[in-house]
């Protein structure tokens, strides 16, 4: 996917620091090549960028994630906390430069790592989807009695 004003043919092999969010895993900070090929490999297909924040960042996801039946990953919520979309498949959050994606600032890394830190579970109940994001840490080496 070629987006107007973005130079995805960057061949300088520069790395960018992003927050990577995979289904059923905790979000983490990684470095990826700032090339179209590397971004497509990261999300597992054609990329689509969405800009749900006032901040200078983009969520880069698989353009066909829902159509391809990729696992639901994280919900996007408005300022009131109401869910308006769910991203399917792996995505990453990148900073924006004048004409491309780039590294996140330290503040952005912390903000989006915290926002997407814990995996969410999605359960279809009638015509609704229930989202469970409850996280209960378990001390290493200790099981949970059921």
pLDDT in tens, the chain (146 residues): 344 445 555 555 699 999 999 999 999 999 999 999 999 999 999 999 999 999 999 999 999 999 999 999 999 998 898 889 999 999 999 999 988 999 999 999 999 999 999 999 998 888 888 888 766 565 655 554 54
H-helix segments, the chain: 36-43, 106-115
The answer to whether residue 129 is domain-embedded is no
Question: H/E element holding 86?
Answer: strand 83-88
The set of long-range contacts for 72-76, using a CB threshold of 8 Å and a minimum separation of 24, is: 72/23, 72/120, 72/122, 72/129, 73/21, 73/22, 73/23, 73/120, 74/21, 74/116, 74/119, 74/120, 75/120, 75/122, 75/131, 76/52
Cα distance between residue 48 and residue 39, in whole Å: 10
Q: What is the pLDDT of residue 141?
A: 57
Domain membership of residue 56 (yes or no) is yes
Sign (positive/negative) of CA torsion 68, 127, 85, 72? negative
Give residue 62's pLDDT: 98
Record the pTM.
Answer: 0.82
- Domain around 77: 15-120
**What's the confidence (pLDDT) of residue 6?**
52
What is the per-residue pLDDT for 1? 39
Whether 119 and 33 have beta carbons less than 8 Å apart is answered as no
Q: Is residue 50 part of a domain?
A: yes
Cα–Cα distance, 52 to 55 (Å, whole number):
9
**Any domain includes 137:** no
Count of domains for the chain? 1
Whether 32 is covered by a domain: the verdict is yes
């Amino acid at each position: 996917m070629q987006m107007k004003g973005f130079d995805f043919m960057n061949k300088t092999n520069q790395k960018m620091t992003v927050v990577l969010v995979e289904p059923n895993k905790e979000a983490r900070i990684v470095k990826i090549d700032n090339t179209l090929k590397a971004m497509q490999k990261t999300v597992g297909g054609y990329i689509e960028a969405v800009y749900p924040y006032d901040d200078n960042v983009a969520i880069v996801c698989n353009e066909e994630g829902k159509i391809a039946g990729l696992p639901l990953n994280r919900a996007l919520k408005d300022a009131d906390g109401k869910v308006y979309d769910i991203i399917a498949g792996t995505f990453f959050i990148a900073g924006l430069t004048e004409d491309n994606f780039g590294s996140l600032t330290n503040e952005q890394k912390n903000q989006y790592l915290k926002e997407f830190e814990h995996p969410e579970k999605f359960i279809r109940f009638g015509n609704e989807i229930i989202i469970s994001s409850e996280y209960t840490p378990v001390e290493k080496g200790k099981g949970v009695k059921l």
